[in-house]
Amino acid sequence: MTRFYVTTAIPYVNAAPHLGHALELVQADVLARHRRLRGQEVRFLTGTDDNALKNVAAARAAGVGVAEFVAANAARFAALRDPLDLSFDDFIRTSADPRHRAGVHRLWDQCANSGDLYRRTYTGLYCPGCEQFWDPSELPGGLCPEHGRAPDPVAERNWFFQLSRYGGEILAALESGRVRIEPAARRNEVLAFVRGGLRDFSVSRPAARAEGWGIPVPGDPDQVVYVWWDALANYVTALGYGSGDRDYARWWAGSGERVHVIGKGIVRFHAVYWLALLLSAGQPLPTAVFVHDYLTADGVKLSKSAGNAVDPLAVAGRYGVDALRWWLLRDVAATGDTDFTEHRLVRRANQDLAHGIGNLVNRTVSLVHRYRGGRVPEPSANTAADLPGAIDRALSTFDFRAATGALRGLVGTVNRVIETERPWELARAEQAGDRVAGARLDTVLGGVVRDCRILARELEPFLPTGARLLCRQLGTPLGAPEPVFPRWP
């Protein structure tokens, strides 16, 4: 059986989590839960990027020790698990997990043994927000495209990685589909970048500038490993790469899918730099990189630095986790940024959950109780037979809108069956002695209940809490009719 290993990017912990982090976590959670529903072995990893210089700067600004500051914020990310109905199997903290440092050192040593590391002095434009150097040609108006500020001129003597050696191999991996990037627009963007030629990049920082925070470069304690090298390595260090290799052999080096779920701002790191590091170290590549765009507020990307971060815990507390997850999965575009407002969330929850899925199930259960005393007749035709396949196809291309659209589409189909067959009229005819009408009523009610059961089961990866309540209501014996999803004013 094919194993499925899915990861999120690990966020900096210079501030509390916002709705953009929730988007990525929920997307990865759906992929993990869906594959578990299909009977596959799944491992779902997330965590925090503790070793960034921006974390050091934030701790200094807060007047708190770096370790204390990082631990407190990392705990806030880990605490999203229950409020967002997440099912991750592992949570790695890059500053505190003993698996991580050993794995980073092993990856460094393997790349060094391949002759891909060297030292040189470098002068460039460095954005602390991105934790990366930018070429002047990549800075519209001289400003970082991600953070809208002018990068700082920095001159350092660092370790460099020979990225330029791997352009051909990376291009072959991407063009052949050995590493798949979804959506296609992001794949095309990466291909253009690689075809434009790759330049070596800095993979360490002076320990003095990092105030001693980070993982020391093996054999060079005056340097710490560049945070992006450090962060990317978490996908394998969490599997025991460098500290035993038991899970690494099972989930990365063995057969199976290895999928990264990331935001569009870090595609280059995952689809180019990470592939090069793995090629240098002689390790397998990921099989897919799924890329989402940004959430915005009034057209501005949600971020801590912009001061417009939306607290996902507050939103879930006001409207429930089902409403929040559904909006993230149903309304967020596959390509292009999506503007968040609570009004849009409420409108979508009312339309699709309260008046859609919830109303259909409540209506169905009520009909069976009214006309068959709660006994579900034996069904015949299966209206929902195509639903699992439609969801499989949509999620294979990272299209949550299409997947949730298939669920919502079945609601419309089953409602049309009820309106066409009019079970209340069949019941009246049966009471008047029409046995054919009675048999038809059994067929209709049995089929509708079965369709609702399939709908509830297929909904589970998307809305674990709501699906559980629906399955209980649709169980044997049939539960009492009651609304599962609230309607918001």
What are the residue ranges spanned by the domains of the chain? 3-292, 320-332+340-473
* CA separation for the pair 404, 408 (Å, rounded): 6
Q: For residue 278, give both structure tokens.
A: 């793995």
Alpha-carbon torsion, ordered 176, 179, 184, 185, to 10 deg:
-110
Spatial strand order of the sheet with 300-301 comes to: 300-301, 295-297, 338-339
- For 3-292, the fitting CATH number among 3.40.50.620, 3.40.50.10540, 3.30.450.40, 3.40.50.300 is 3.40.50.620
Question: Does residue 283 contact residue 449 with C-beta atoms inside 8 Å?
Answer: no
Residue 109 carries which DSSP code? H
Which stretches of 177-254 are DSSP H helices?
184-195, 227-232, 234-237, 246-251
pLDDT per residue over 124-174, tens digit each?
Answer: 787 776 777 777 877 788 888 776 778 888 778 999 999 999 999 999 999
How far is residue 356's CA from residue 352's CA, in Å, rounded to a whole number?
4
Burial readout 63-92 (b: 16 or more C-beta within 10 A, e: otherwise) = eeebeebbbebbeebeebeebbbbbbebbb
Q: pLDDT digits over 221-277, tens only? A: 999 999 999 999 999 999 999 988 789 999 999 889 999 999 999 999 999 999 999
- Is 105 one of the annotated active-site residues of the chain? no
List Cβ neighbours of 466 (8 Å cut-off, separation of 6 or more). Answer: 322, 353, 357, 358, 459, 484, 485
DSSP designation for 233: T
CA distances from 314 to 22, 58, 320, 360 (A): 12, 23, 10, 29
The residue from 34, 270, 301, 452 that is catalytic is 301
Q: What does the block give as tokens for 46?
A: 């997330």
**pLDDT score for 270:** 98
- Give the integer Cα–Cα distance in Å for 307 and 309: 6
Lateral strand order in the sheet of 90-93: 90-93, 41-48, 3-8, 257-263, 288-292, 180-182
Under 8 Å between Cβ of 181 and 288 = yes
Instruction: Return the minimum-mean-pLDDT range out of 64-78, 83-97, 243-257.
Output: 243-257
DSSP state of 12: B
What pLDDT is attached to residue 303? 78
Pairing of strands 152-161, 201-202: antiparallel
| Residue of 147, 264, 355, 369 marked active site | 147
pLDDT in tens, 476-485: 999 999 999 9
The catalytic residue among 21, 34, 54, 260 is 21
Instruction: Kindly give the residue spans of alpha helices, DSSP state H, lying in 238-375.
Output: 246-251, 267-268, 274-281, 312-319, 321-330, 342-348, 359-372
Q: What is the pLDDT, as a whole number, of residue 381?
A: 65
Does 21 qualify as catalytic in the annotation? yes
Exactly one of 54, 105, 260, 304 is catalytic; name it: 304
Distance CA 67, CA 268 (A): 29
Among 54, 105, 127, 270, the active-site one is 127
Q: What homologous superfamily is domain 320-332+340-473 in, according to CATH?
A: Isoleucyl-tRNA Synthetase; Domain 1 (1.10.730.10)
pLDDT value of position 126: 77
Per DSSP, 163 falls in state G
Say whether pLDDT at 405 is over 80.
yes
Q: Give CA–CA dist 329/188, Å, rounded.
A: 24
Residue-level pLDDT at 209: 84
Cα→Cα distances 248→42, 129, 224, 332, 361, Å = 14, 31, 25, 33, 44
408 by DSSP, 3-state: which? helix
Return the half-sphere exposure (C-beta side, CA atoms, 13 A cut-off) of residue 456: 25
Question: In 3-state terms, what secondary structure has residue 170?
Answer: helix
Mean pLDDT of the chain: 94
Is the pLDDT confidence value at 214 over 70? yes
pLDDT at residue 175 greater than cutoff 70: yes
Q: What is the DSSP letter of 96?
A: T
Q: Which of 34, 130, 260, 292 is catalytic?
A: 130
471 is catalytic: no
pLDDT category of residue 64 using cuts at 50, 70 and 90? very high
147 is catalytic: yes
* Residue tagged active-site, from 18, 105, 260, 292: 18
Q: Which of 105, 144, 260, 452 is catalytic?
A: 144
Structure-block tokens of residue 248: 């690494």
State the Cα–Cα distance between residues 80 and 317, nearest whole angstrom: 12
What's the pLDDT score for residue 293?
A: 96
Whether 21 shows a pLDDT value over 90: the answer reads yes
| 1 has a pLDDT exceeding 70 | no
- Count, residues in the chain: 489
Would you place residue 304 in the very low, low, confident or very high pLDDT band (cuts 50, 70, 90)?
Answer: low
Check if 452 is active-site: no
Q: Report pLDDT for 115.
A: 98
Q: Does 304 qualify as catalytic in the annotation?
A: yes
Question: What DSSP string describes 34-94?
Answer: HHHHTT-EEEEEEEEB---HHHHHHHHHHTS-HHHHHHHHHHHHHTTTTTTT---SEEEET
Give pLDDT tens digits for 434-463: 999 999 999 999 999 999 999 999 999 999
pLDDT of 301 above 90: no
